[in-house]
Amino acid sequence: MDERELRHMLEELAEEGFPEPVGLWPRLRARIEAPSRATAVGQWIRRPLVWGLALLMLAIGIGTGAYAGGLWRAFLLAREPMGFSLATPLGLQQDRLRASAWGTGLCDRLRYVGT
Amino acid sequence: MDPERTEQEAIRRWRAGDPEGLAVLVRLYELRALRTAYLILQDRMDAEDAVQNASLRAWIYRRRFDPQRPFWPWFLQLVIREARRIAGRHLSKSVSDTGSDADRVDMEGWKDPGHAPDLIAERKESVRALRQALQRLSPAQRTAVALRYYHSLAEKEIAEIMGCSVGAVKHYLYEARLRLRDMLDSGETQL
């Protein structure tokens, strides 16, 4: 048996299986139309569900953000040495130091005057 | 009306969401698709299921179709995928179990008065032997054989349709030819 013979035999075998069209369209049409009706009904059910889920996710996101922000602030406060915050700009820290030194000097002078 | 224009119009309507467009396309290609699926699955009901599922997919994924390209190769790809999926489900079935259609001999094709009875019987026997030999191939091998020898496609085209490499197609065809040769005759095969 050569290639041509195989081709002929495959054609015969295929024709034997389906000598003529079987008319798939009516069954197919029913299958195509069935899900479209189900989809229309399903959409009305699913739409509020999707919006509800989206709102829930948003609320969870906002809540988590607020909670994380609070935690961060608490962390910074816990790490703040002697009233200086890590978040305090360097210039402001120097001003506070200067003010603190000036205050100490004034107290010393007042103590001296008092004596 | 020009068949090519009819097809183009059907494709336009189908892509626009008109089921009548798909109806025209299904009627145009149904027989070719059914016969291809039958060569892979060797069962009429399974072949009908494969073509029906493929048509349904064609409806669902109509937007993915490139209108610049011909419809048949795209649809054939869907049919092949469905047929292989169904064949995969039946892999556990033994060869003898699949014999409902396999053992059926349709005499319609043998009523040609030009054929001598002994020639008819011999031919019938050859087709039956081929059917049984095909059943012993893997679904991938049967698919490659159907596309190569029934549709006369090139290995590259077969690779595109089967979603594998050209090397894999060559391997499937080589193995299939080897097995068919072993099963069909005693050495005169030139496949």
Determine whether the interchain pair A25/B109 forms a contact, defined as Cβ–Cβ distance below 8 Å: no
Best mutation target among A2, A3, A7, A18 (most B Cβ atoms within 10 Å) is A18
Write down all domains in chain B, each with its CATH number in brackets. 1-98 (1.10.1740.10)
Helix, strand, or coil (residue B93): coil
- Mean predicted lDDT score pLDDT of chain A: 78
Rounded (5°) CA angle A39-A41-A47: 85
Structure tokens at B98: 């699949």
- State the pLDDT at residue B2: 76
Measured between alpha carbons, how far is residue B95 from residues A17, A112, B52, B157, B173 in Å?
18, 114, 25, 30, 21
User: Nearest residue of B to residue A6 by CA position?
Assistant: B149
**Rounded Cα distance, A112 and A107, in Å:** 9
Token pair 């798939």 is found at A24
Nearest by CB: A17 against B44, B52, B180: B44
pLDDT in tens, A1-47: 688 888 999 999 999 999 999 999 999 999 888 766 656 666 677 78
Determine whether the interchain pair A28/B56 forms a contact, defined as Cβ–Cβ distance below 8 Å: yes
pTM of the predicted model over 0.90: no
Terminal CA-CA length for chain B: 42
- State the pLDDT at residue B175: 93
Q: How many CB pairs under 8 A join A and B?
A: 102
Where does residue A109 fall: left (phi above 0), alpha (psi -120 to 50 degrees), or beta otherwise?
alpha
Determine whether the interchain pair B19/A20 forms a contact, defined as Cβ–Cβ distance below 8 Å: no
**Rounded Cα distance, B137 and B179, in Å:** 8
Determine whether the interchain pair B180/A6 forms a contact, defined as Cβ–Cβ distance below 8 Å: yes
- State the pLDDT at residue B89: 84
**pLDDT per residue of chain B (191 residues) written in tens, 0 to 9:** 677 888 999 999 999 999 999 999 999 999 999 999 999 999 999 999 999 999 999 999 999 999 889 999 999 999 999 999 999 887 655 444 444 454 444 444 444 545 566 777 777 788 888 888 898 899 999 999 999 999 999 999 999 999 999 999 999 999 999 988 888 765 444 45
**Rounded Cα distance, A21 and B56, in Å:** 18
Determine whether the interchain pair A10/B149 forms a contact, defined as Cβ–Cβ distance below 8 Å: yes
